[in-house]
Amino acid sequence: MLTESPKKSLNEEADEQYPLKEIVVDEIETDTGGVPTLKLNGFVGFDSLPYQLVEKCNEHGFQFNMMCVGETGMGKTTLMESLFNMKLEFEPCNHELKTVELRSKTCEVSEGNVHVKLKIVETAGFGDQLDKDKRFSERPTIFKEPSVPFSARVIVDYVNEQFEKYLIEELKVKRCLAYFDDTRIHACLYFISPTGHGPLRLKALDVVTMRELSKRVNVIPVIAKADTACKDELVRFKRKILDELRGHNIQTYQFPTDDDTVRQANQELNKLIPYAIVGSTDFVTKDNGKSVRARKYPWGIVEVENEEHCDFVKLREAVLRINVDSLRERTHNVLYEAYRRDRLREMKLGDGDAGLKMMESLQLRQSDYKERNAQQEKKYKEEFVRRVEKKEEELKRREEMLNTRHREVQEKFQLDVQTLDQQIQTLMEEKYKLETRTLTGKKKDRK
Ligand SMILES: Nc1nc2c(ncn2[C@@H]2O[C@H](COP(=O)(O)OP(=O)(O)O)[C@@H](O)[C@H]2O)c(=O)[nH]1
Ligand SMILES: [Mg+2]
């Protein structure tokens, strides 16, 4: 008869597998910090640390935020729908939009045990009208760089605002970064028109926007609607874009090659930048019965996921399959760090400014602020007094003018009355003379 062996505890199992010997120090090295490195001869359990981390991360979920920048109708929404294999109900945008806006959609996606909170942001009304920049250049934006067109400033502002929200949370006394809705943009796809501007050149707006954005976000340039250009043209255009980016010293994102596991793949993926992409929301059934995402033309079909037809698969591999974490990491460690440094310097905080030093700094900032406020108030008061005095002077001058005019009118009136009196007097005298003459004439006649 089989008897069930009593259930062993995990500890007992581990002890059996790795009989606990005395921890023997095999080797003692003294590293630069003077801390010895010990080699254990028995199982301790540290090796489960990566699994604990994976479990924790999976449980907590991930956040990935992507932004698409490009003209209306360039295929931004279609590409996102193709990349994530789902319908995004973005409000359609027309070319008549009077300003540049950023529209976003947030959703949760799951693959296996991994849950990702995905935020997709796309520009609406960007680069549509030539006069839009002029018309709105007067509107204030946070990003103060007057030489940068308004449309570009709105987008950089958006990226900075997400950093600012994170910084505010980070500086709170009671902060909760683990559950903070982190909206910092991890990847920005910049859509370049397949025809370029003039003979396969980048538009000035594209150059400036990419230059400013690449200082704050991981910019990945893509040639939109690649099915509308022929292969040779695309090869030349890619080369031209890279030359222009280099010429303007614009550093778009390069997939990292410092990690052995992804070095080769990323080296190949970097060579394809800017990716020539095609997107589609339609599926076509091929002769072999397979349904593929494609664009249908009278002469045939362009398959989105066919590497012979476009770089879509490579883009998906680069951004979503191999480098999501590298994009998130660079956003936090390099781009946000630079933003944070700039902002703390603006606040006049230096390295090691904590505790008393921080209080000093804050007091300094406060008194600086008060001083600036007092100066501003003084300036406003002086301006007010100056304006009141000016107004008073003007009123006085007007009053004097009115008085003079009044005096003149009165004098004229007096003069007129005098003239009329004299005229009446003269007329009365003439009348009297006439009457006397008539009477004497009549008396003479009667005689
Ligand atoms: N030829 C071609 N047309 C595309 C491509 N992607 C999108 N379109 C079409 O371009 C139009 C605008 O697409 P949409 O994604 O709404 O552009 P968005 O304004 O940039 O979001 C639609 O009619 C799409 O079918 C593409 O890769 N090639
Ligand atoms: Mg759209």
**Tell me, what's the pLDDT at 2?**
41
Q: Is the CB of 77 under 6 A from ligand 1?
A: yes
Considering every ligand atom, which ligand is closest to the CA of 309? 1
**Tell me, what's the pLDDT at 295?**
95
Question: Which of 68, 69, 74, 78 for a ligand 1 pocket mutation test, highest count of atoms within 8 Å of Cβ?
Answer: 78
| Closest-lying ligand 1 atom to the alpha carbon of residue 124 | 19
HSE (side-chain half, CA atoms, 13 Å) at 420: 6
Residues 125, 71 contacting (CB under 8 angstroms): no
Considering every ligand atom, which ligand is closest to the CA of 80? 1
Q: Is the CB of 73 under 6 A from ligand 1?
A: yes
Q: How remote is the CA of residue 15 from the centroid of ligand 2, in Å?
A: 60
309 vs 315: CA distance, rounded Å: 13
**Tell me, what's the pLDDT at 159?**
95
| Closest-lying ligand 1 atom to the alpha carbon of residue 281 | 25
For strands 62-69 and 101-111, give the pairing: unpaired
Per-residue model confidence as pLDDT tens digits over 277-318: 999 999 999 888 889 999 999 988 999 999 999 999 999 999
Residues 132, 75 contacting (CB under 8 angstroms): no
Which amino acid belongs to residue 399? E
422 vs 416: CA distance, rounded Å: 10
Q: Is the CB of 279 under 6 A from ligand 1?
A: yes
**pLDDT at residue 192 tops 60:** yes
Q: Is the CB of 75 under 6 A from ligand 1?
A: yes
Q: Which residues contact 27 (CB under 8 A, 6 or more apart)?
A: 37, 38, 39
Report which of 196, 228, 235 is spatially closest to residue 295, judged by C-alpha positions.
228
Predicted TM-score (pTM) of this structure: 0.73
Considering every ligand atom, which ligand is closest to the CA of 125? 1
Of the pLDDT bands very low, low, confident and very high (cuts 50, 70, 90), residue 199 is low
Q: Is the CB of 119 under 6 A from ligand 1?
A: no
Q: Is the CB of 74 under 6 A from ligand 1?
A: yes
Give Dmax (Cα) for the chain: 189
pLDDT averaged over every residue in the chain: 85
